[in-house]
Structure 1
Amino acid sequence: MVELIGASLILFAGTMIGLLQASRYAARPNQIRQLIHALQRLETEIGYGYTPLPEAISRCAAYLPEPVTALLRDVNRRLEQAGELTFRECWEGAVQAYWPLTAMRQPEQAALVRLGSALGISDRDDQIKHLRLAMQQLQTEEEAARADSARFSKMWKSLGVLTAALVVILIL
């Protein structure tokens, strides 16, 4: 009886690990899409609303889902407490702090860090150009993430169950 309970717990744990990994692959393209949407809103606020950058970031954060909204709110918080920090330093600090909470990878992070070094130091038209460039880079990464999700999600689900089954067989 104890062996049966142990075997079922191992199968359950292996299945959950596989499902967790699969969900990270599925979440990555969605989070990239949310990030693109945030940059589009930021572009609209800067380009058409003539909104100052801190206020534009605050307005964008109000309409977005997590974890993107947490990232933008942290940028705003850092700007308010900045003292002698530049916008780039606040942006990079927020990206570094919130990146582990996302399913996104290094290429998306690099695009955001590059964008942060260009925002707030030039005129409105130049900022819009940098926002559009970042959106194009993120769209390319989103396509790759969708392909990875389709390929690896099913594999991780199966791998979790099969690995757990192998462990159960070896134990029994």
Structure 2
Amino acid sequence: MKWVGALLILAASTWLGTAASRLLHERPRQLRQLKAALRVLEAEVMYGHTPLADAADRLARQTAAPFSELFARFAAALNAGETSAAMAWEKSLRAVWEKTALTQGEFEVMLQFGATLGQYDRLTQQKQIALALAHLEREEAEAVDHEARYAKMAKSLGVLAGLLLVILLM
């Protein structure tokens, strides 16, 4: 019975380490997805002269989860016409953010970006998108660095913490 408990403890701690490593791996991937989505949004608004709600609806179909849900909620809120674009963006962002692997820094960048949506002319909007992309580039570089440093360590730490706990309990 002791051995079964020891194996369960070891499996649980290994799973926790792997989950932490997976989050570190997901963050740079999701940042790349978000940057690609913002570039598409920029192209739709600047060169396609697409209304913001239609552009968000197209982005919802083109991007992967969780950002497809973000843009779908944003498009639905804009089409409902209940709030401003900034408020619709903030509500959509808050509703979807927990499903991402992104951090508070990225959340602040996206909130600041959303505050400018629909407020300016096309040229100024393009500059705001470029500013958000520059911030996300910096965050992505940091995320890649964190992944390289800590992903393997998180897996190893999960296994080693489980072994330590098993040894202490035996």
TM range (shorter): over 0.9
Partner of 1:46: 45
Structure 1 residue ranges (4+ consecutive) displaced by more than 4 angstroms after TM superposition:
none
What does the per-residue CA deviation read over 1:10-41, in whole Å, with 9 as the maximum and x for residues that have no partner? 11000000000000000000000000000000
Q: Which structure 1 residue ranges, 5 or more long, are not aligned? A: none
Deviation at 1:81, TM superposition (A): 3.0
Distance 1:20 1:115 in 2: 30
* Structure 1 Cα separation of the partners of residues 32 and 72 of structure 2: 18
CA distance in 1 between counterparts of 2:88 and 2:115 reads 10
Indicate the residue corresponding to 2:137 in structure 1.
139
Per the normalisation by structure 1, the TM-score is: 0.96
* Kept after mapping to 2: 8 A contact 1:111/1:138: yes
Deviations 1:17-66 (A, max 9, x none): 00000000000000000000000000000111010111011111211111
Task: Please provide the CA RMSD for this pair.
Answer: 0.9
Q: Which amino acid aligns with 1:123?
A: D
Q: What's the counterpart of residue 26 of structure 2?
A: 27
Equivalents in 2 of 1:162, 1:97: separation in Å?
Answer: 36
Contact 1:82 1:90 in 2 (8 A): no
1:166 pairs with 2:164 = yes
Which residue, 67, 91, 94 being the options, matches 1:93? 91
Percent identity for Structure 1 against Structure 2: 38
Equivalent pair of 1:58/1:76 in contact (CA under 8 Å): yes
Which residue matches 1:104? 102
